[in-house]
Amino acid sequence: MGDPRLDIWNVLHDGEIAIMHRESPDVLVMFVSIPYVRRRIQPLGDSFQLRLGGFRGMAFSYDIDQETFTELDYIEGFEILDTLSDTMPAMIQLAEGKLMLDFDSLDISLDSGQAVTYEEVRRVAQDYWDDFAARTKHV
């Protein structure tokens, strides 16, 4: 297991960035909708809240051109695929293009507000994918 600030984007593979909100000048709050993983943690819900502390900025660009977008709400509705970087800032492959997020710390909560650890989110996501592989093996 590597840096949770980078690995979380692999764990939330296929999740949709539902909300991006600047809580303060150096804190970004994101809601990532990923119901099939989130439903495995009580209380029932469909999203995780990621709180990025020491937030310095984001930039998004489509793969086909170099134009960069920095408005937070621009990427709402975009789908997370995986992490492209081994070091910060985080470079994330979205279905729609590439996203750079520069921040220092990561705190994760359920959409209900209850804190949850990265390890717990990683474990339930792995359980989901293990179950998925077992189900599709028999199809």
Low-confidence ranges of the chain (pLDDT < 70): 1, 64-65, 138-139
CA-based nearest residue to 51, from 89, 15, 1, 8: 8
* Sheet with 16-24, side-by-side order of all strands: 16-24, 27-33, 47-53, 105-110, 115-116
Query: What pLDDT, on a 0 to 100 scale, did the predictor assign at position 18?
Result: 97
pLDDT at 138: 65
- pLDDT attached to residue 2: 86
State how far the Cα of 15 lies from the Cα of 19, in Å rounded to an integer: 12
Q: What's residue 139's pLDDT?
A: 59
HSE of 3, CA atoms in CB hemisphere, 13 A: 14
- Rounded Cα distance, 27 and 36, in Å: 27
pLDDT of residue 5: 97
Interval 79-118: pLDDT, tens:
999 999 999 999 999 999 999 999 999 999 999 999 999 9
